[in-house]
Amino acid sequence: MRERHPRIHVLVCNAGIPGRRSFLEVEPERLEQLVRTNYLSGVWCLRAFLPALEAAGRADVVNVVSVAGGVAFAPSGPYSASKHAQLAFSRAVAAELGPRGIRVHTVNPGFVETEGFPQRKGLSSPLFRRLVIEPEDVARHVVRSLERGPSETYVPAWFRVFPVVQALAPGLVRRLAPKSAYRKRPESH
């Protein structure tokens, strides 16, 4: 790979699989898969491309994480935990790679409608369904983030309020969250 692309100026880490199962219901294999895909794939990808990023002189890494990395409630505890690990990793490498000329951008989307995450079908509340955005919204946000410089951002921006509220008053989010924002249905793998 380095022979073909000795210098890489932008690396986007955007792997993720759904995990709408509670800790008590998720199969051990699925839990392992969540951690490997949602967290470790970004770690190994960045390590693999780090020499090419450094060779570029100045480079950018975009880690597409999730609002779920900062907000956790049932039934998505294992998914949120995998995204929280990814968020913590992104924050740590931002500090570590900055002096090497590599800017790290952490993008935290809310509900995004994709083939792997059919949000509108899965969300039970009409309010939540109205909050669903499209992949193009995230792509535009990533481009704006690259133009503005390294930071941790949310798509849409007002989603930032949820991790702040949970950090300041964790019990409040638990009480206000619906018993299940998601319809009961078998999870697709």
The CATH code of the domain that includes 90 is 3.40.50.720
Would you say residue 2 lies in a domain? no
Would you say residue 186 lies in a domain? no
Task: Report d(CA 66, CA 124) in Å as an integer.
Answer: 20
Would you say residue 188 lies in a domain? no
pTM: 0.82
Task: Report phi then psi at 188, rounded to 5.
Answer: -85, 140
Helices (H), 36-168: 41-55, 77-97, 119-122, 126-130, 135-148, 161-168
Confidence band (pLDDT; 50, 70, 90) for 171?
Answer: confident
Quick: pLDDT tens for 114-156.
676 655 566 566 666 667 767 798 899 999 999 998 789 999 8
Q: Point out the residues that are catalytic.
A: 79
CB 81 within 8 A of CB 125: no
Would you say residue 71 lies in a domain? yes
Helix (H, G, I), strand (E, B) or coil at 188: coil
In the chain, how many H helices and how many E strands? 8, 4
Would you say residue 32 lies in a domain? yes
Quick: pLDDT tens for 80-121.
899 999 999 999 999 999 999 999 999 999 865 667 665 556
Would you say residue 3 lies in a domain? no
- Tell me how many domains the chain contains: 1
Would you say residue 136 lies in a domain? yes
* Domain range for 70: 10-176
Would you say residue 183 lies in a domain? no
